[in-house]
Amino acid sequence: MELLDGISVPDGAVAVGGPLRIPSDVIYQGEPAEERGWRIYFAIPNDPRPVIKNVTEQLSRQGFTMRPAELTGEDWKTTTTEFCTQNAKSYDCAGVAQATASGDRRVVALDFHRRAAENDRPPESYLRITLHDSEHPEVFNPVLGNPGTSMGPKPPPVSASWPSLPTQGGRFGDGYDPAATPFSVEPQSHLISPTIQSDDCVRPGYEALLALSGNPTSIFEAYQEQAQRIVDDTRLGPSPTIANFEDGSKLYAATVSDQGGAVYRFAMTIPQAGTPLLSISVCVD
């Protein structure tokens, strides 16, 4: 199955939904820069290293060079370490690929996390691939990692049991930072995976991925209203920004935040054909 930019689903991985368009996180002269990139998640039940190697080879054929990296706070930095490392509570892999052709501003970031269930948080075994394609890209730190370095140690096995997903009216987002308030599942939407710890947060937040049926914009508004009620007990959500892409897909994006540092970000991708997908990211900064 081919995704976007000539990348295909790698062997050993299962796509969670489809490509999600991403809001621009680059501000240029006071305005968001145009962003043509996308993000996708893969569930990986076995060893992630052959999957990451497959993605690296695909990117190499597309003119990218993948190097080991790590995510610190909200910024990537390249390192001389292996692609995958075993920590006290998790097994993590990360890399950043930059295009070698002059004028090609695209950057691909990949990160894999495997964690056991903890404090009501579900277990994780997911690879996230993000392709950034901004007209005014961020400047990444100088490349230090060796692209030919080892993939790293063998990972632990995944959890033997996985939780059932909540259905309409059920809660999702428990077990993270107490200020990252959980949501309930709205009608005509359903989770397509357990929640995932968000790496875009200073403190442990979460991301939820949902497939939508019925009127997607109404469901999008309903989740915004949930966040707004959490913040100030009203339904006065913000007006979303809407971006159109050359492949016919659309991105609706909105943010609700409170004075305590909790930020609720919504990004809904409506493809030209297929199921609309909604990402809800809850961070406490």
Is the pLDDT assigned to residue 143 strictly greater than 60? no
Please give the model's pTM, rounded to 2 decimal places.
Answer: 0.90
Cα–Cα distance measured from residue 93 to residue 161, given in angstroms and rounded to the nearest whole number: 23
Q: Provide DSSP, 245-265.
A: -TTS-EEEEEEEE-TTSEEEE
Q: Locate the domains of the chain by residue range.
A: 14-132, 171-284
Q: Smallest Cα–Cα separation from 230: which of 198, 260, 190?
A: 260
pLDDT in tens, 78-110: 555 789 989 888 899 989 888 888 878 888 999
Residue 96 makes CB contacts below 8 A (sequence gap 6+) with 66, 67, 69, 76, 78, 107, 108, 109, 110, 140, 143
Q: Smallest Cα–Cα separation from 256: which of 279, 275, 229?
A: 229
Q: Which residues of 262-275 are buried (b: 16+ CB within 10 A; e: fewer)?
A: bbbbbbbbbbeeee
Cα–Cα distance measured from residue 67 to residue 158, given in angstroms and rounded to the nearest whole number: 26
Sign of the torsion formed by the C-alpha atoms of 91, 61, 43 and 182: positive
Is the pLDDT assigned to residue 18 strictly greater than 60? yes
Please compute the mean of the pLDDT values over residues 250-270 and round it to a whole number.
91
Is the pLDDT assigned to residue 270 strictly greater than 80? yes
